[in-house]
Structure 1
Amino acid sequence: MKKILYFLFALTLISCKNEKKENSKLQVVTTTTMITDLVKHIGGNTIEVQGLMGAGVDPHLYKASEGDVTKLYNADIIFYNGLHLEGKLVEVFEKMESSSKLQVALAESLDKGGLIGSEYFASNYDPHVWFNIQYFKKFANQVTEVLSSEDEKNASLYKSNNEAFQKELDVLEEKIIAKIETLPEEKRILVTAHDAFNYFGKTYGFEVVGLQGLSTATEAGVKDVQRLSQFIIDNKVKAIFVESSVPKRTIEALQAAVLSKGHEVTIGGSLFSDALGDTGTIEGTYIGMFTHNVNTIVDALQ
């Protein structure tokens, strides 16, 4: 697979070398839907943005297609999460390092002292940092700096767009904190398909337990299901949650295990973890996704 991917990359370089058309707009490629939404907020109509991943796509398992290689080659800037979230794309990015392509791994610039350790990723850190809104604000600042540096004539526009987005994120955080405060502290236990919400839990006061590990590349075993089912019973957890980018069967198996022990737990709804909702929906934006998640969690656990 490696050889095929590298061949496609080399072939694209040759075939597209003289075909790239001049365009006054910066050509930007992004990986996850969260980053795509962010870059569009900052760049507006001044840039062209192509996101590799769509709604419901798991970035842990995503592999580059031939079309992706073409998009990456034609880009002026590539924004991605980093911290090994896009594990299957790492080799492609490394192969492109010898080119003049500007690649920006947004999470790599965060202070490692505040990150959560993880043995599931080569970076040794949990990469789901967007669930801390303050980290996402830093992402926005970094995107603004990069776009302004590469397109100085529109720097004031990028700055203005970022200032507006920062205010929206501040309002978002105020609203979700107010919503969370309606939930008694003893009920703030979040059980999901995998540990994508550890930054959310650390920042907003939830104990987070995932059936799978931090990466969806690993499957939950029978012992994991039995262990977590007993935890749910012991802590009187009212609801557990499925995720849009993880198969529902894992949480259904957990629910069945709890029921087999004479206890009841409901599936409180679907959360957006590694991807936003469909384009054109409220949940298809970072702010809409975060609002949906918090409302779903708090309402189900009340």
Structure 2
Amino acid sequence: MKKRLIVSIGFLLVGLFGCSTQDEETINKSEEPLKVVTTIAQIADAVENIGGEHVDVTSLMGPGVDPHLYNAVQGDIQTLDQADIIFYNGLHLEGQMGEIFEQMEQDKTTTPVSENIPESKLLSDPESPTITDPHVWFDISMWSYSVEAVRDDLINIDPDNEESYSQNAADYLAELEALDIYAKERFEEIPEESRVLVTAHDAFNYFGKAYGFEVVGLQGLSTESDYSVNDVQKIIDLLIDRNVKGVFVESSVSDRSINAVVEGAKEAGHDVSIGGELYSDAMGEAGTEEGTYAGMFKHNVDTIVEALK
């Protein structure tokens, strides 16, 4: 009922503010930058790096915000309505906003950046094979497809600045490639048997596949999922069996479930500690290193290495 009410409010506001159909070939004939709205900050970082001075970017979901549970408010609808172009992740990451995107795409370019990724590279939920894992930004080789989707749509809507977008995207992709190499080199410091990443929910499966980690989350792909005492015990048994000394909390997810694992392991005679906080569905504060995609990713790499090596 709450979701329907929010969507209804959204549609009403769209009508009030008037989503007039845009001619994408004539947008940005003035000197004004494109108004770009994204859902998660990871996408906003790509847009800012590729668009440079030609874009004015607003990200709806800031630090500590869980996109799985996020409901758009009235101000978000107005912000989306006034955008020239909208980028969102897709794959049901922004599960409460699907109908809003459907409404917006009738009048303006509204792009799920994950659509560029080959389907063969996507992972599914082991317990629900029809559900696709949306956390694609944790495999840099896959996230590069999303970066290219941003580049291509900016060029489509603003062809006068194609050269700038293309060069900025090339520079950004080169930065991501260097980051990928950095991660692989650092993870060599962790013994193979200790490469077990225990977190609150399954946000790191692409990460684990890319870098050789066994990834275990108490909750499923979405933080809407719950967990049982049996789930906690299975993880405790794994920690003891593999002699894993560190587990991780997430910046956008309650630490209640991970604390249950730590306490249960101690009761079983196995000393395990919180290895640090990882950024999963959200990045850090704007203006900090962790508030950028590269800084967030590097923070996670360094935190995991220091806890598990």
TM-score range, shorter chain: over 0.9
**Alignment gaps of 5+ in structure 2:** 23-27
1: CA distance, partners of 2:18 / 2:221:
40
Alignment partners' CA distance in 2, 1:14 and 1:95: 11
- 1:50 aligns to what SS in structure 2? strand
* Equivalent residue, structure 1, for 2:16: 15
Cα distance between partner residues in 1 of 2:4 and 2:266: 48
Alpha-carbon distance between aligned partners in 2 of 1:46 and 1:88, rounded to the nearest angstrom: 30
Aligned ranges for residues 1-302 of structure 1 at < 5 Å? Answer: 1-17=2-18, 24-97=32-105, 99-118=106-125, 124-302=131-309
Q: Is the 8 A contact 1:30 1:51 kept in 2?
A: yes
CA distance in 1, matches of 2:180, 2:7: 43
**Structure 1 residue 119: Cα displacement:** 6.5
One-letter amino acid of the structure 2 residue matched with residue 228 of structure 1: I
Kindly state the Cα deviation for residue 170 of structure 1 after the two structures are TM-superposed.
1.3
Deviations 1:11-69 (A, max 9, x none): 3233323999x963211110011111111111112111111000111110000000111
Aligned residues: 300
Q: Once the 2 structures are TM-superposed, how far is the Cα of residue 162 of structure 1 from its aligned partner?
A: 0.6
Give the RMSD, CA atoms, in angstroms. Answer: 1.9
TM-score (norm 2): 0.92
Counterpart residue identity of residue 283, structure 2: L
Post-superposition offset of 1:120: 7.6
| 1:132-169 deviation per Cα after TM superposition (whole angstroms, max 9, x unaligned) | 10111111111111101110111111111111111111
Indicate the residue corresponding to 2:25 in structure 1.
none
Structure 1 vs Structure 2: percent identity of aligned residues?
A: 47
* SS of 2:56 mapped into structure 1: strand
Instruction: Report which stretch shifted further, 119-128 or 80-89.
Output: 119-128
Deviation string, structure 1 residues 157-185 (Cα, Å, up to 9, x no partner):
11111111111111111111110112111
Question: Per the alignment, do residues 123 and 29 of structure 1 end up closer, same or farther by CA in structure 2, a change over 3 Å counting?
Answer: farther
- Kept in 1: contact 2:36–2:84 (CA 8 A): yes
Check conservation: 1:84, 1:121, Cα contact below 8 A: no
Report the CA distance shift for 1:154/1:138 in structure 2 as closer, same or farther (over 3 A): same
* Structure 1 residue runs without a partner (length 5+): none
Secondary structure, aligned partner of 1:87: coil
